[in-house]
Amino acid sequence: GEEVAQTPKHLVRGEGQKAKLYCAPIKGHSYVFWYQQVLKNEFKFLISFQNENVFDETGMPKERFSAKCLPNSPCSLEIQATKLEDSAVYFCASSPYQSYEQYFGPGTRLTVT
């Protein structure tokens, strides 16, 4: 597609439940980036992929967070055993090259209660 698609738009989970977010990059884009935006506009880089390979995972929390980009499937970000502080908007972005403009999806708002 011509836009980055993210599903769902909103996700509500109780503490301890699993959350799974999806991202379909723009067709032909090799790079996918995940960012987390908590309150006060604090964006945090989580992880990036080059096709199905992890490219940079320096921002991923060591526990509970995992991500995949499999061929012919949307990329996914999964949080096991969610905590209150995981409440945020999770944005996915795609890019045709490593150092090119990143196009952002509309985000998934995760609320952990």
**What does the binding site for another protein look like in residue numbers (CB under 8 A)?**
31, 33, 35, 37, 40-43, 45, 48, 55-56, 58-59, 89, 91, 93, 95, 98-99, 101-102, 104-107
Which tokens in the block code for residue 66?
Answer: 């995992």
Which residue, 39 or 84, is less far from another protein as judged by CB?
Answer: 39
Query: How far apart are CB 49 and another protein at their closest, in Å?
Result: 11
Query: How far apart are CB 8 and another protein at their closest, in Å?
Result: 15
* Dihedral (Cα; 59, 62, 68, 74), 10-degree rounding: -60
Query: Concatenated DSSP letters for 80-97?
Result: SS--GGG-EEEEEEEESS
- Give 109's strand partners: 10, 89
Query: How far apart are CB 105 and another protein at their closest, in Å?
Result: 6
